[in-house]
Homo-oligomer: A and B are copies of this chain.
Amino acid sequence: MLSKKTKYGLKALTYLALQSKREPVQISEIARHENIPQKFLESILLTLRKTGLLGSKKGKGGGYYLIKEPNEIPMTTVIRVLEGPIAMVPCVSLNFYEKCDDCPDENKCAVHKLMLQVRDSALEVYRKNTLADLISE
């Protein structure tokens, strides 16, 4: 199941991407328009800023804005930042690999074999979709 964090984060990103100008948008405005609890959104935008996807400006007239163009933001990045590993089991993860304690041989493991395929297919989708693709009508 997709976490609300990811869902809200994605919505916020699209809201920012749809702005005609790249000027700071307040958290409260995004929260209102996208029906997101403001405090929760605050923490999400903070992590998006820390990972370099968003910039922020403090004080009056401040807010968040996209640093890159929407077509330069692939979903692989967004999902990994917000949701974590794309793989459903650590033993097939590219960026967060971890061996299973219970599994003596990965190459004979049915779970491994299946989840490898699932990871690849998901990765393909996330790679070919940028933020720009998701806001295009």
Contacts and interface: CB of A to CB of B under 8 A. Distances in A.
Interface of A: 1-2, 7, 10-11, 13-14, 34-36, 75, 84, 88-89, 101-103, 108-111, 113-115, 117-118, 121-122, 124-126, 129, 131, 134-135, 137
The 10 A-B residue pairs with the shortest CB-CB distance in the complex, in nearest-first order:
A35-B102, A110-B134, A121-B121, A2-B88, A14-B110, A117-B125, A2-B89, A10-B111, A121-B125, A118-B125
15 contacts: A1-B88, A2-B89, A2-B111, A7-B111, A14-B110, A34-B102, A35-B101, A35-B103, A36-B102, A75-B114, A113-B134, A117-B129, A121-B122, A121-B125, A122-B122
Q: How many copies does the complex hold?
A: 2
Nearest to A131: B110
Contacts of A114: 10, 75, 125, 129, 134
Contacts of A13: 110
Contacts of A118: 122, 125-126
A118 B119 CA distance: 10
